[in-house]
A and B are shown apart, each in its own frame.
Chain A
Amino acid sequence: MPQPVHDFYQAMADRVGRTLAARDAEHQIVVQVGSATCEHAAGSQAVADELVRHIRASGRKDILLHRTGCTGRCSREPILGVRLPGRLPVKYERVNRDLVHRIFTEHIQGGIPVAQHVLDHEAGPLPERELLFCEGSRCHGSGPGLRERFAAMLAARGVSRGSVRIGAASCFGACGLASGGPATYVLARPEKVLYRVTGEEDLTAILDGHLIGGQVVERLRAQEEPIALAFMERYGDVAFFNRQSRVALRNAGVVDPESLDEYVDMDGFKALADVLERRDPDWVIGELAKARLRGRGGGGYSTAAKWTLARRQADATRFIICNGDEGDPGAFMDRSMLESDPFNIVEGMIIGGFAIGAQKGFFYIRAEYPLAIRRIQQALDTCRAHGLLGRNIMDSGWDFDLEIRLGAGAFVCGEETALIRSIEGERGQPRVRPPYPTDRGLWGHPTVINNVETFANISAILRYSGDWYARLGTEKSGGTKVFALAGKVRHTGLVEVPLGTPLARVVNDIGGGVTGGRQLKAIQTGGPAGGFIPASMQNMEVDFEPLQKAGSIMGSGGMIVLSEDDCMVDIAKFYIAFSQDESCGKCTPCREGTTRLLEILERITQGKGELSDLDKLERLARLCQRTSLCGLGRAAPNPVLSSLKHFRGEFLAHIVDRHCPAKKCVALIHYEINPEKCVGCTICARNCPVACIAGARKEAHVIDQAACVKCGNCFDVCKFAAVDRV
């Protein structure tokens, strides 16, 4: 029987294999620089240019400059990776042009890494090899015990700990893929060998055979090829990364986002080939159901159920839409996925189109993301040129196409009915549901809308099975979730963890805790539609239901860490101001409700609040929740209700004591100069915009409280901590 799709895929995979093998044979050394909005902002373009100059000047032909997407390690960008043959890959942080020069001469030419600039490297020499033990954080395996045993064995044998590093990775996602029974997986770098270990004898074999003998212990080699292996192989030594479980972000920072070949090399389009070969949409939807995949856009609706609803419609004209509006101010995972692994999102959408029987799909991307738009457009053009999109996809006889539509800066357009209006070229105002878009959506036809991250998971689920994906998560929700960690946290960036992971693990273990030695106050999830999880509840599991029970929501994955310096009334006001500004104005409860809520909060932060305001806030918030037309108005009061629930004392302090405990609300603070500490350096007076600080040189200065505008400049510039904020 002819197998056109299989043949198509095989021919493509073979061609890619040959091309990349030829490239690798030519280039022994790979230097990697990120290329995404955040990397560019940090200066990665200048770094790349400088590298090109150095490579050219050196005349060497064996160095490949590899442009990848972004790994999501924002606070350390630009990141530059160096891979020398047979050596552990080294990543450098906060690279600038001068550092490029050092790295090039000392490391690339000289073979000795510049240790003090290595990403997250504490001190001391860099190890030559590394063994990463999975911690079995989900399966509660014996990894940690075996890891300690192994370290002890190393010490007993006198193997220098400096040259071999024993590390831990949370989970490779290898469990139960092939070989049965529980086991611990150990990744040996730089050999890129994954071992499957069940007991101490295995450890001895690895120690003797692999570390001392220098031979791969074939007997223990794992049959599994877990999903994030390529990622771990490059980034496994960095704690920020090895404590994550990357599924949706598996290729971010690994592949060149503009290269179809590299995506195919990561098993790209294998899932699509499988789908088109089976020609069985029910199989696709069945796997998603087994995976317990829930929409990552915020609502957490079952993706299998949504696709089934559209599929069952009598109307055969159907559409599929990728929601890339990412409106939550403080979230950037969708942008990163679109920029760093665009082909994966495209593949997810094509599979979705096939499963629901659509002829056409749309990417709706916000105009504020120009690079994401360019990358997706480039991916679509490439796919079309290679028979992966358009007519007769992969020689299957099935036609499907995708097109990009741009948002134009309206938060409400993330809401599905408003988004549809916007694609139709109208003002993006939502309408009443039902009918749901799966009944009547774009131009009245059945339409499925899913979030970017939802699509990012599709190919992985079909490659590794729904059961595998479900096992990663919790009873109710399978898989992982990507969070955009920002705010007062040491390591800002993208964190992908299995659902059910404790919040504290994300913020403290991966995020490195609160900045500046301050105390954690709360964690905000869900953006303007979400709420606050107080520090006392930081051990709760991240999943849709627990977060909702705590008065917040999962949302799309924004996670803002707040410290004791943040005023909860002020932050609640910030979110209401956002919702008020973004309310489309169609329904009264939302339009007027958010305006009045904002007025009351404004009053409280001005020190003009009354006790009765708290009841008013609560009543109005509930009214707005219950009677608004769309999710914007219904969720807008959440930050207010949740801050009232967990931080009522702070509201009372503003109202009763006229005091802002976080010293944030300008109307409730003032600045004083401590004459004991002031040395009369005059820097405050020189920086005061209203010239309200008096005092002669070398004499204590005084602030004229009546004229002071409380800008805080004096507080910021004083080098002697003589200015007090009270």
Chain B
Amino acid sequence: MTACPHCPTDNWPELERGYRAMLPEDVLAFIDAHRGEPHSESLLIATLHMVQDHLGHLGPGHLEAVAQLMQIPLAKVTGVATFYHYFRLQPRGRYLINVCLGTACYVKGAEKVAQKLMDELGIHFGETSKDGIFSLESTRCVGTCGLAPVVMIGEEVHGPLTPGQVPALLESYLARAAEEMAKV
């Protein structure tokens, strides 16, 4: 059997099927739509954003699938994914808590809020709570400094927060999680 001249390897169709199974539909559609366009490799970051939006993180399998389907060396894909803070290589909880440690929040006592979150959740930055509900991260300014100190949970911003308000805030998300899970 002669290899397909456009395929990277002899067994490409089979490999491709495997890689495609790793990624959500609209990511595949996005990659397919731009394949062969000039500078299509520049869409790597956009693609990684899409994958993370869907799956919550970028696992080794996802990176390899993106690399293969976009025909960009895996070394480079990994290099990009590790360079940018926004990309997470570990799975994360249902709600991502981002404590702002930007200047405005710092001078307004963000550290105490962060400490309270760690105490309440029993985890450190970069970790996920045992029940898989919360992951804790820190960020540098979410652009709502006027409300400092702020904490971003998912896409929602909360502020100004005192350490005393932290337990109730977490409770409200736990309740929401319970509600969402009851629906499923």
Contact = CB atoms under 8 A, between A and B. Distances in A.
Interface stretch (A17-25, A37-45, A125-133, A223-231): A37-45
Contact of B49 (A72, A406, A429): A406
B155 interface: yes
B141 interface: yes
Contact of A406 (B41, B45, B148): B45
Contacts of B90: none
B39 A330 contact: no
A326 B103 CA distance: 13
B23 interface: no
A41 B144 contact: yes
B143 interface: yes
B156 A408 contact: no
B106 A574 contact: yes
Contacts of B147: 38, 41-42, 74-75, 77, 492
B142 interface: yes
Contact of A560 (B76, B103, B150): B103
B143 A368 contact: yes
A546 interface: no
Contacts of B148: 486-487, 492
Interface in A526-583: 527, 558, 560, 562, 566, 571, 574-575, 578, 582
A368 B142 contact: yes
Contacts of A326: 143
A492 B157 contact: no
A487 B159 contact: no
Interface string A304-341: 00000000000000000000001111111001100000
Nearest to B77: A425
Contact of A370 (B43, B115, B155): B155
B39 A41 contact: no
Contacts of A484: 145-146
A369 B139 CA distance: 12
A70 to B, nearest CB: 9
A423 B41 CA distance: 10
Contacts of B159: 41
B26 to A, nearest CB: 15
A524 B142 CA distance: 19
26 contacts: A38-B146, A38-B157, A41-B156, A72-B146, A77-B146, A77-B147, A326-B143, A368-B141, A370-B155, A405-B42, A407-B84, A408-B48, A408-B84, A409-B86, A425-B44, A425-B80, A426-B80, A427-B80, A484-B145, A486-B145, A486-B146, A488-B107, A488-B108, A492-B147, A560-B107, A711-B115
Closest 5 CB pairs of A and B: A74-B146, A329-B102, A408-B84, A409-B86, A330-B103
Interface of B: 39, 41-46, 48-49, 72, 76, 79-80, 83-87, 100-104, 106-108, 112, 115, 119, 139-148, 150, 155-159
Interface of A: 37-38, 40-42, 72, 74-75, 77, 326-332, 335-336, 367-370, 405-411, 422-429, 443, 484-488, 492-493, 524, 527, 558, 560, 562, 566, 571, 574-575, 578, 582, 584, 689, 711-712
